[in-house]
Structure 1
Amino acid sequence: MSSAKTSLALIAFALAASACASTPKVDKEVELAMQEALRPASAEERAAANRADPLTRANFWAKESNKDAEDLKVAIEFARALREIGSHDRAVDVLSRTLIVHPDSPDVLMLLGRIHMAQGDVATAGRAFQRATEVAPQRSETWAALGTTYDRQGQHRLAQTSYLKALEIEPLRTTTLTNYGLSLVLSGDLVGAEAKLRLAAANPDAGARVIENLALVLGLQGKFDDMKKVSGAAAPDQVVDQNVALLQGLIQPTRSWDALTEPAAPVRLAEAETPLAAPASRETEEAPQRTLRQRN
């Protein structure tokens, strides 16, 4: 073999040997990089992300979801973050895919129902809440949420049955008592409504909205002195007087949800609490601002 050929052979052998020697190192570095990319964020990193602004939170949980799309906690946090930035359709998609893997998760079903409620799809929300009552009948908020869907559809007796089941589990839950009271208003039982709303208003977490609902129910019964006493703690005297005067001129039988919820200035409107807020969970079922407001 000529010296030139011998040199070329030696160079080729050296290059091949070098490549063989470096390949395990490169493969190991790639493997480590992939492992790091797929490493779930720590509890501290997740907590920090949840304190960030909504868009940052959504981007963080999107990355976590890409690492493990079947992780239940990640899917729920991702859907919540999407909901907060108004990406409801994508949130529904995330939760729907999660249900394939976790079909009996009440948390997924409740969040899915709340998003459908926020979009005005009461029937679909009702199906999600109904399923939640089946997989978690011991959780009062599942029955309370189902009750709100019945009320929205004018099925007040069914709604009240659901609220009763919720109260059997958690007798003094403020939002359930409030919703039950307003449901009784919708079916014409103002005395029963007053009783439930008084119980709700007596709770430490009642808030001004519950007080306003109680005051309005008292006014609907013509109990204007009681209405003033109840309202006085939550509204200026001028507003209370205006509300009383308004009700004195407008009291009429309650026949439908639409009739009750038609805004009637200058009554101060109350916001619905946010599904299932406020409650113990971050969310509650929402509804547009109205004169009488249901809460979950």
Structure 2
Amino acid sequence: MMRPIIVLGLAGAFLAITVHCGAEAKKKKQPEVAQVAPIDLTALDEAIRANRLVQAKTLLEQSQLARQSGPMLDLLKAEYDLARGQNDVALAGFRLLVADIGVGARAHQGAGIASIRINRIDDALGHLSAATKADGSLWRAWSALGVAYDLKRNWQAAEAAYASGVAVRPNAGEILANRGYSRLLQKRFPEALHDLKQAHGMLPGNERIETNLRLALALNGSYDDAIGISASDTELVKNLNNAGYAAWLQGDFVAARAYLSRAMEISDVYYDRAANNLAAVNAASGK
């Protein structure tokens, strides 16, 4: 009577061992998940600076898969948000990093630039002053500090900030463009023209710089150069209006009327800005 029980017990034990071995075999056959390598932070930094945002996004996604972390990566994430115009998101990211000894200066720089974009100028001045004090080589911080002082109409402080930036990075077209526009606001037209010509040579194709350069040319009396060769009637109308406005500021009412009238003639629609400027010219000249 006992033998069948023994046989069944052995069979059960054998079955259990067989099942267990099968599970082990299946477990061994499962493919191993490949680990994602961490990204090169220098490559990410360069992609953001060059505005290669698609590449930057790909690198950031790879860093997430690699479970990469650290203050420098967090800083670059905030700079990526800043580059794509997510100013509030970027500002929040930068603020979390300003106390970090390794990236704090750049975090202040980014926070200052983001603050300017959302019109928090006093906050911007605080962040940018802290950035330049911590690291005087941050030329973007110097340039942005000049812009912030321009918005406060503190021309002397703006000039000092731009000069510090140029000393650090003489070939930075962005600084010269900002200083050139600042000098237009200060009515220092020859100096503005010099800066904007240099900036245009360093950053060809930049629409903002080209517009300000044309205005500077007109304000220095070079009206034909300011109008230049236009790709379309819309662009020509804009250039004629700017030249007419500049002539008006210079007291050259004859040239102002000629350019503004021409702008109104060739515009596909009634060009309100040119018309308003022409009315102001006629009022100023008694006509």
What is the aligned partner in structure 2 of residue 162 from structure 1? 161
Please say if residues 144 and 166 of structure 1, whose CA atoms lie closer than 8 Å, have aligned partners that are also in contact.
yes
Structure 1 residues not aligned, in runs of 5+: 253-263, 268-296
CA RMSD of aligned residues (A): 4.7
Tell me the alpha carbon deviations over residues 45-103 of structure 1, each in whole angstroms, 9 at most, x when there is no partner.
989x99xx96896486256247122162x434433444466544443344444555554
What is aligned with 2:131? 132
- The partner residue of 2:38 within 40, 55, 63 is 40
**Pair 1:94–1:20, CA change in 2 (3 A):** farther
Letter aligned with residue 228 of structure 2: G
User: SS of the residue aligned with 2:69?
Assistant: coil
Q: Secondary structure at the match of 2:273?
A: coil
Q: Deviations over 1:177-214 (max 9, x none)?
A: 2222222333343343344334444x253445434323
Q: In the alignment, is the contact (CA less than 8 A) between 1:174 and 1:206 conserved in 2?
A: no
Which structure: larger Rg? Answer: 2
Residue 160 of structure 1: CA displacement? 0.9
> Which whole-Å deviations, capped at 9, do the CAs of 1:239-296 have from their partners, x for residues lacking one?
54433333444669xxxxxxxxxxx9359xxxxxxxxxxxxxxxxxxxxxxxxxxxxx
Whether 2:270 is the aligned partner of 1:265: answer no
Give the Cα separation in 2 of the matches to 1:5 and 1:88.
Answer: 77
| Separation in 1, partners of 2:132, 2:153 | 20
Structure ranking higher on relative contact order (CA contacts 8 Å, 6+ apart): 1
The equivalent of 1:75 in structure 2 is 74
Q: Distance in 1 between matches of 2:170 and 2:37?
A: 44
Query: Which of 181-190 and 82-91 deviates more?
Result: 82-91
Residue pair 1:228, 1:240 contacting (<8 A) in 2 also: no
After superposition, where does 1:64-103 map in structure 2 within 5 Å? Answer: 64-65=63-64, 67-70=67-70, 72=72, 74-83=73-82, 87-99=86-98, 101=100, 103=102
Q: Against the structure 1 CA distance between its residues 206 and 86, is the aligned structure 2 distance closer, same or farther, given a 3 Å change threshold? A: closer
Equivalent-residue separation in structure 2 for 1:214 and 1:126 (angstroms): 27
- 1:158 positional shift: 0.9
Specify the SS of the correspondent of 1:265. Answer: helix
Equivalent pairs counted in the alignment come to: 244
Give the TM-score normalised by the residue count of structure 2: 0.60
User: For residue 119 of structure 1, what is the aligned residue in structure 2?
Assistant: 118
